[in-house]
């Protein structure tokens, strides 16, 4: 039996619930691009927050809170069959309990650990690589990450820039975290056309660019090393790599 | 002179300082701007591949000293500039808001007197912390020779402090920086160390006590300006860790900026590989439970340039190998070239549940290219050659890349 869910974490956990108490799931797939097969019957699962919260609590209790975190990070990844990774990991986890974390090389555990690591690494990277620009009423930052890490950035920046209004915009997924000096929320978002930066903003961008070019030591120049740390795909949103006005 | 020009001059003057880490302290934002994460955050990487985490800048590059290796010495004819305390504070806040930086790394040349300079540094911190309620990371350089009282009140506001000792021995320091002495540099270091220990002891009893320099202190040594061997440098490093409880000792490959009788010629290429090897050795000291005399000794006073220090150590101590992955202790696993802290921890955790086979080893993150010569797995040796120093050394030496012949 293939279970189809609605792309939410709650939906995924509801599938796990049904897989445990009713038919064991052979695979879990997103509803919107599922290819029907003649061999496997499929079933659309309606997301039920009560059931999902029971599974959520069960993972934390019967496996461990680290395992729960791993599962959530994998869910945020862009791995093409992340649902099945999670399914297998949890099936094993409910058998082994917290020991599963130590079983690093197990074929059902290793891909989960690796994927979760990639997601958390990218989130960590964007703690640094995000660039805000002043637009008058709020600070605006956009990014195009590989994984859906927006929600992992929210708490960090809400604490750091507590006295500011800001929007962090994931251009790839057309979502944004919006913070209003009190709390943040995640929402669908498209970039408004009239977004323009203030005069002070362009002054500080120029200062930053000046600083960035001058801090490099000429006799130690190492572009390859720089490329390793700042991959080309992230550079479109970085002031110091797009703005070549001052690169002398 | 406008801000842009000043920024350019004082960045150029500050860039030879190595340290740029923003790690070591977790802080929440208490009603203002900024916080800090103990793992540290890098914000970008400059053209030389070094990370930019803090706004690294000098308050001024007017200097009364004439240290021969330094770009800012008073004999040099270079553009000079000074920031006011408020200018630096504003710049920090504006960069920080835009998430360009993790905080401020403030240093200074010595204008008028050490006390005057240190007082000005304190002023910047005072504005940032008390007026702007800034809770981000601040690293300050201690100006040697300034009053303990000023250093103390600066330390209450900073996250990390550092005194650069520049040279591992008194003799080489005297040659290059005649106005400085190691003893004068050690005094503030010892004092900061004492304060840190004291406040962390008090912290255990009284929760509300403010920690002094919570991210600890660090220092920096220049490599290649004098003829000190790696043995001297690593011995000094180890002593510094033991004596002053330093978080980091940074090494900086000497980049010739001045001409002088006691200095390498201007055309000297910075010893980047040597610096790299010293950092590798430093990691062995800090995370791999090595002692300095194991890495270098009077017989081998210099680090091998062809191999990393751990392989060199293993090749000199080949009688200790091979080690059995399933039985060796954590400390022994760390000694195997190609196994690091992460993979050793994973191995130790997993082998409680099931024996570890050779096929799985690479999944732990073990680099088998190096490790296979030094281990056995379930009793079998996979190196393929007898365990002899010369043979393993040969197998580990990188082969020259074959060249594609041209067709015509």
Question: A147-192: per-residue pLDDT in tens?
Answer: 999 999 999 999 999 999 999 999 999 999 999 999 999 999 987 7
Do A86 and A39 touch, CB atoms closer than 8 A? no
Q: How far apart are CA B282 and CA B276, in angstroms?
A: 10
Question: A88-106: per-residue pLDDT in tens?
Answer: 999 999 999 999 999 999 9
Q: Does residue B32 sit at the A interface (CB-CB below 8 Å)?
A: yes
Place of tokens 């555990």: A109
**Signed CA dihedral, B127, B101, A209, A198: sign only:** negative
Q: Write down the pLDDT at residue A246.
A: 40
**Neighbouring C-alpha atoms within 13 Å toward the C-beta of A126:** 29
Helix spans in chain A (H)? 9-21, 49-58, 65-76, 82-96, 110-129, 150-160, 199-215, 223-229, 239-242
Q: Write down the pLDDT at residue A244.
A: 54
ipTM for the predicted complex comes to 0.92
Specify the 3-state DSSP secondary structure of A165: strand
* C-alpha gyration radius of chain A: 22
pLDDT tens string, chain B, 408 residues long: the values are 888 899 999 999 898 888 888 998 999 988 889 999 999 999 999 999 999 999 999 999 999 888 888 888 888 889 999 999 999 999 999 999 999 999 999 999 998 899 999 999 999 999 999 999 999 999 999 998 889 999 999 999 999 999 988 899 888 888 888 878 888 889 899 999 999 989 888 888 887 888 899 999 999 999 988 888 999 999 999 999 999 999 999 999 888 888 877 788 887 788 889 999 999 999 999 999 999 999 998 988 989 888 999 999 999 999 999 999 999 999 999 999 999 999 999 999 999 999 999 999 999 999 999 999 999 999 999 988 999 999 999 999 888 888 888 887
CA distance A47 to chain B (A): 36
Whether residues A222 and B363 touch (CB distance < 8 A) is answered with no
Nearest to B47 among A101, A216, A238 (CB): A216
Domain boundary assignment for chain B: 3-286, 309-396
Question: A179-238: per-residue pLDDT in tens?
Answer: 999 999 999 998 777 778 888 888 999 999 999 999 999 888 999 999 999 999 999 889
CA distance A35 to chain B (A): 33
Whether residues B52 and A133 touch (CB distance < 8 A) is answered with no
Which pair of tokens denotes residue A187?
A: 């929402």
Q: How far apart are CA A1 and CA A28, in angstroms?
A: 9
Homologous superfamily (CATH) for B3-286: Aldolase class I (3.20.20.70)
Do B122 and B153 touch, CB atoms closer than 8 A? yes
Question: A77-88: per-residue pLDDT in tens?
Answer: 999 999 999 999
Backbone angles phi and psi of A143, in degrees to 5 = -150, 160
Which pair of tokens denotes residue A160?
A: 């750091």
Q: Write down the pLDDT at residue B106.
A: 94
> For residue B49, is it left (φ>0), alpha (ψ between -120 and 50) or beta?
left
Residue A35, pLDDT above cutoff 60: yes
Q: Does residue A162 sit at the B interface (CB-CB below 8 Å)?
A: yes
Domain boundary assignment for chain A: 2-120, 130-197, 202-248
Whether residues A220 and B91 touch (CB distance < 8 A) is answered with no
Residues 149-168 (B) with a CB less than 8 A from some CB of A: none
Do A32 and A8 touch, CB atoms closer than 8 A? no
Bridge partner list, B253:
B223
Specify the 3-state DSSP secondary structure of A30: strand
Q: Write down the pLDDT at residue A243.
A: 66
Specify the 3-state DSSP secondary structure of B330: helix
First CA to last CA across chain B, in angstroms?
61
Find, among A204, A137, A133, A203, the residue nearest to A168 by Cα: A133
């Amino acid at each position: 039996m293939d279970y189809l869910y609605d792309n939410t974490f709650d939906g995924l956990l509801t599938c796990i619930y049904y897989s445990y108490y009713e038919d064991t799931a052979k695979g879990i797939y997103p509803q919107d691009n599922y290819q029907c097969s003649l061999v496997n019957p499929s079933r659309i699962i309606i997301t039920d927050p009560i059931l999902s919260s029971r599974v959520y609590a069960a993972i934390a209790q019967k496996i461990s809170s680290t395992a729960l975190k791993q599962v959530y990070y994998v869910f945020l990844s862009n791995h093409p069959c992340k649902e099945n990774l999670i399914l297998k990991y949890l099936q094993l986890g409910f058998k082994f309990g917290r020991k599963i974390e130590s079983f690093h090389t197990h074929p059902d555990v290793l891909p989960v650990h690796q994927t979760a690591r990639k997601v958390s690494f990218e989130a960590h990277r964007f703690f640094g690589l995000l660039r805000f620009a002043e637009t008058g009423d709020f600070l605006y930052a956009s990014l195009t990450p590989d994984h859906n890490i927006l929600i992992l950035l929210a708490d960090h920046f809400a604490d750091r820039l507590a006295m500011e209004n800001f929007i962090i915009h994931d251009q790839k997924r057309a979502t944004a975290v919006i913070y209003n000096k009190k709390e943040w929320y995640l929402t669908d978002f498209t970039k408004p056309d009239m977004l323009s930066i203030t005069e002070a903003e362009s002054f500080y961008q120029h200062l930053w660019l000046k600083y960035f070019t001058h801090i490099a030591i000429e006799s130690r120049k190492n572009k390859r090393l720089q490329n390793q740390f700042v991959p080309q795909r992230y550079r479109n949103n970085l002031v110091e790599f797009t703005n070549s006005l001052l690169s002398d | 002179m406008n801000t842009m020009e000043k920024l350019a001059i004082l960045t150029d003057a500050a860039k030879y300082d190595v340290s740029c880490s923003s790690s070591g302290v977790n802080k929440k934002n208490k009603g203002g701007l900024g916080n800090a994460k103990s793992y540290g955050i890098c914000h970008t990487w400059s053209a030389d591949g070094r990370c930019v985490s803090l706004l690294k800048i000098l308050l001024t590059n007017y200097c009364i000293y004439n240290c021969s290796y330094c770009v800012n010495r008073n004999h040099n004819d270079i553009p000079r500039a000074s920031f006011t305390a408020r200018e630096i504070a504003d710049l920090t806040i504006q960069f920080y808001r835009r998430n360009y930086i993790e905080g401020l790394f403030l240093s200074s040349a010595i204008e008028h007197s050490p006390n005057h300079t240190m007082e000005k540094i304190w002023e910047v911190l005072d504005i940032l912390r008390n007026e702007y309620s800034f809770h981000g990371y601040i690293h300050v350089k201690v100006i040697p020779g300034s009053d303990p009282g000023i250093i103390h009140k600066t330390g209450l506001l900073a996250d990390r402090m550092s005194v650069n000792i520049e040279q591992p021995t008194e003799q080489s320091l005297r040659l290059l920086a005649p106005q400085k002495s190691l003893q004068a540099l050690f005094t503030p270091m010892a004092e900061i160390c004492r304060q840190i220990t004291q406040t962390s002891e008090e912290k255990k009893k009284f929760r509300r006590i403010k920690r002094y320099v919570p991210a600890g202190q660090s220092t920096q040594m220049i490599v290649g300006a004098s003829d000190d061997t790696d043995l001297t440098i690593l011995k000094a490093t180890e002593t510094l860790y033991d004596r002053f409880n330093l978080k980091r000792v940074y090494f900086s490959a000497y980049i010739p900026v001045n001409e002088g009788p006691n200095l390498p010629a201007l055309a000297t290429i910075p010893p980047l590989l040597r610096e790299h090897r010293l950092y590798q050795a430093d990691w062995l000291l800090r995370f791999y439970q090595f002692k300095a005399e194991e890495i270098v000794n009077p017989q081998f006073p210099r680090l091998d340039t062809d191999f990393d220090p751990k392989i060199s150590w293993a090749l000199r101590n080949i009688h200790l190998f091979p080690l059995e992955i399933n039985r060796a202790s954590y400390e022994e696993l760390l000694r195997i070239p190609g196994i690091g802290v992460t993979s050793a921890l994973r191995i130790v955790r997993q082998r409680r549940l099931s024996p570890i086979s050779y096929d799985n080893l690479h999944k732990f993150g073990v680099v088998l290219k190096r490790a296979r010569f030094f281990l056995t797995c379930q009793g079998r040796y996979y190196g393929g050659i007898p365990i002899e120093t010369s043979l393993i050394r040969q197998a580990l030496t990188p082969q020259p890349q074959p060249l594609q012949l041209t067709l015509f």
